[in-house]
Amino acid sequence: MEEIVFGIGITALAGALATVAGAAEDTESDIGSQGDPNSQVQLAPQMGYIHRIFNKAVAGEPPAYGLWVALGAGLAWAFMAMQINPILAIVLGSALAVFVQGVYATTAYLGRTASLAKFGQPVYIDILKSMTTVTMAHAFVAIFTTVAMCHLMIAALGHPFPLPLMGLVWGIALGAAGSATGNPFYGKERQYQEQKFGAGVPISASGNIVRYAEAGQRNSLDNGFFSAKLGGPASGICFGLIVFFELWRTVVFEELNIWGPIIVGIVVILVFAIIDRYIEVWARKNFGPYTAPEAPEEASS
Amino acid sequence: MSALSGPAQTGGVQPPTAMGLILSIVLIVVALALAFFLVQMVGVIALVGIIIGGVLIAFGVHFVPVGGAPAAMGQAPGIATGVAMLAAGAGLAGLFGGAWAAPFGLAVALAGGTIGGGLLMAITCTMVNVIYIFGMGIPAASGKVAKDPITGDTFPEYKSQGTEGHGLPFISWVGGVIGGALGGLGGTLIYLELLDVYQAQLPVILDVTVEQIAPVAISLAGIFAVGMFLMNAVLAAYNITGTIEGPHDPKFKRFPRAVIAAAAASAVAGIFAIALLELVGVF
């Protein structure tokens, strides 16, 4: 019984760490325009819309986070093998991984933006100086929490995977959850803030992203501020729920019966099916069918 | 009228060519023969398991509703990320569960992997709809079919002007869960087969006990399973080309080609994984 209580405590802690990781991951990727909305940031200058949005996408979020978290976990694992205290080892490993992220962000911004030179898009050095460190700070939070979570799964819950492999697995899952949940909010709700609310962005508006803020030109810190309100926390809840349910069903029900975690997993999937269907029907009832704007006008920036 | 009333969408279905088929069968037979020659019957059984695992992954990826960049702007239905990436996230979460349950036997571990992958997709797909509905005020609408095959909901009137649909209709949600579950099952099967091979071979070669060799065997099997997962997911993603809504999408019918390619690729990659220790021993 004591073991189960201990396991539930670790599960809750791992779920909480995952929630923070998801929120930091999505905010980091939105500041860097790393998810799918990046296509619009890259497209905008080609359509004549010069902007000051940071642009560091080279890989999708899942492989990028797979790399950074596996790197942080691998270094932490090496430090632990050198008899360094685990907490210190995880901090050091994550910090070193963040430097790789910083190099990646810098070269990606310079390379991607320089490729737009023939469309008149300048490389803003002040953007590079102010945004890179902010994405690095967010990446540190995401990597540290994920590596710490992986360490808990191995050291406290006895998962057989070594730390670097665990980092790769959960890093990719973190990127998948963060990009799936957070991308639409940043892409549609922020970059196309001027388009009609409650409808998709017409394909004809592609590239016409919002480039001006309350004062002056909009930059990616404004975007981070915006997506930290909903896209980030929602990604955090998504990844937190995944980690929590994945661990909880095993830790609590494996003692009762070896098939327990599987039956509980099926029940949880069915519960989410009901929730999904309920909100889908709720949206259809409350929002109603699409109505075209009365006088469709050309969106301007 | 919308694209729905246009000519019947074939989804660019291209049946596998005879040349491709023959080449794949030859590759698989050669790989099986090599497995028998290098690792005997155990190797053949493991390779068959790996091929089945690879096929399950490639087939499963076709179920996952992926909208890519257009989905992030509410221009196309699906989840706003890449096909291979999302499937990898789900499959690897399944692998995590399957590897954890490995000591309880093949059936429990495979079921654990299946449910692990399905659970990740169930939560992710639900959160996608939460963001679309409560964050952006957009109800789900498919662009490929007029009616949800499961719930019977109609879509054309909910679809925004100038888009191909948006959000995740219930059929796509179900497709996502099935895809994640198949991915988790395939990934776990590959991991367990390789783990068996390494746990049988390593103690003999290095003259140590199974317990002592466990971390090395688990690491090797795990990293090969991740690698083969990504390989099969990317193959399937090439077959899909871009976005897919789920099992109701006309593109879904393209799966035979990916399944054959995945079987051949898994056989070739699998022989390197199984005969790794023999190959290392040669040098």
Which distant-in-sequence residues (6+ apart) come within 8 Å of A91 by Cβ? A144
Question: Which residue of chain A comes nearest to B69, CA vs CA?
Answer: A36
Q: What is the distance between the alpha carbons of residues B121 and B115, in angstroms, rounded to a whole number? A: 10
Tell me the average pLDDT across A30-58.
Answer: 89
CA distance A157 to chain B (A): 10
User: DSSP 3-state assignment of B166?
Assistant: strand
Q: Which two tokens stand for residue A278?
A: 């309920």
Q: Phi-psi region for residue A201, left (φ > 0), alpha (ψ -120 to 50) or beta?
A: beta
- Entry field: residues in chain B: 283
Helix ranges (H only) for chain B are 18-61, 68-72, 83-100, 106-130, 170-206, 210-240, 255-274, 276-282
Q: Does B71 touch chain A (CB under 8 A)?
A: yes
The DSSP bridge partners found for residue B147 are: B154
Contact A207, A121 (CB under 8 A): no
Residue pointed to by tokens 């909010």: A185
* Angle, vertex CA B183, rays to CA A58 and CA B18, nearest 5: 90
Q: Does B123 touch chain A (CB under 8 A)?
A: yes
CA distance A140 to chain B (A): 21
Query: Of B96, B140, B222, which is closest to A280 when you measure between CB atoms?
Result: B140
In sequence order, what DSSP letters do the residues of B229-265 get, joined into one string? HHHHHHHHHHHH-S-B-STTSGGGGGHHHHHHHHHHH
Q: What is the DSSP letter of B66?
A: B
CA distance A167 to chain B (A): 11
Q: Does B159 touch chain A (CB under 8 A)?
A: yes
Contact A30, A231 (CB under 8 A): yes
pLDDT tops 80 at residue A297:
no
Question: Which residue of chain A comes nearest to B230, CA vs CA?
Answer: A63
Q: What is the pLDDT of residues A81-113, one digit of tens each?
A: 999 999 999 999 999 999 999 999 999 999 999
Contact A131, A219 (CB under 8 A): yes
Burial-class residue A296 by CB neighbours within 10 Å (0-12, 13-18, 19+): exposed
Residue pointed to by tokens 């929120």: A23
The DSSP bridge partners found for residue B244 are: B66
Q: What is the pLDDT of residues A114-162, one digit of tens each?
A: 999 999 999 999 999 999 999 999 999 999 999 999 999 999 998 999 9
B90 CB neighbours in chain A (<8 A) are 173, 176
Please choose, from the candidates A10, A11, A15, A13, the residue with its C-alpha nearest in 3D space to the C-alpha of residue A241: A15
* Angle, vertex CA A240, rays to CA A237 and CA A244, nearest 5: 135
Contact B278, B38 (CB under 8 A): yes
CA distance B128 to chain A (A): 5
Per-domain residue ranges of chain A: 2-243, 254-285
Q: What is the pLDDT of residues A245-277, one digit of tens each?
A: 999 999 999 888 889 999 999 999 999 999 999
Mean pLDDT by 10 residues, chain B (283 residues): 43 76 92 88 91 94 88 88 80 87 90 93 94 92 89 89 90 94 93 90 82 86 90 89 88 90 93 81 60
Q: Please give the ipTM for the structure prediction.
A: 0.93
